[in-house]
Structure 1
Amino acid sequence: MHLTDAQLWAAVLGYLLPPLIAIPVQRHWAGPVKGIFMLLVAAGDGLGTAYFNGELSGRSVVTCTLTAALAIGVAYHTLWKPSGIAPRIEGATSTRTTPVRAVGGS
């Protein structure tokens, strides 16, 4: 498998994005909301890298977006979360001090 320059850039940016994603993300957001936000950021990464590499086609945007989403997820769970960097940024920029419990939760 050969990655294009756009896909490589999407992966590199994706690996560096979790601390930036942690700035607007609020600690009290539900997991699915955080996941959707990450996918929106990955879509922006994919679209931008495809555009700036002159590969703005449907397939290229999709592969760059998927590459970015994978890189963001791997980077978050292997580097940024275990190191505590992303969670500390998220906590420092959250507007609420306590998480909201789900309805019916214990």
Structure 2
Amino acid sequence: MTDAQLWAAVLGFLSPPVIAIVQQPRFAGPLKGVVMLLWAVIVGLGTAYFNGQFSGSSITTCMLTAVLVIGVAYHTLWRPSGIAPRIEAATSSGGRQPSGPQAV
């Protein structure tokens, strides 16, 4: 793995709480997926650019790495622990509270 891909993986792992700030509990699943994909594009572009590897294949690989790591981190750590849902609820304009940790 290149430095850019490793940075995309690290930032992807730390991204679910940041994404949860933007997302709202009332958002439909597809909209939440779009928000995550847009964030992964930003992470991929940024890591490729700041590591001097701003070319087609490197950008694509960084974006795909970010998508994969964000999804795995969210479903294995951030959602089951209840951290991401609590952040969503706390930053929600509707004020709906999560029901606690959810099973995977």
TM-score normalized with structure 1 length:
0.88
Provide the alpha-carbon RMSD of the alignment. 0.8
Larger-gyration structure (1/2): 1
Is the helix fraction higher in 1 or 2?
A: 2
After superposition, give the CA deviation of every residue in 1:9-52 in whole Å (9 maximum; x if it has no partner): 00000000100110010110000000011000000000000000
Question: Which structure has the higher relative contact order (CA within 8 Å, separation 6+)?
Answer: 1
Q: State percent identity of aligned pairs.
A: 69
Aligned partner letter, 1:49: T
Query: How many residue pairs align between the two structures?
Result: 96
Structure 2: gaps (5+ residues): 97-104
Aligned partner letter, 1:20: V
Structure 1: gaps (5+ residues): 99-106
- Give runs of ≥4 in structure 1 deviating > 2 Å: none
Aligned partner letter, 2:76: T
1:1-106, aligned counterparts within 5 Å?
3-97=1-95
TM-score normalized with structure 2 length:
0.90
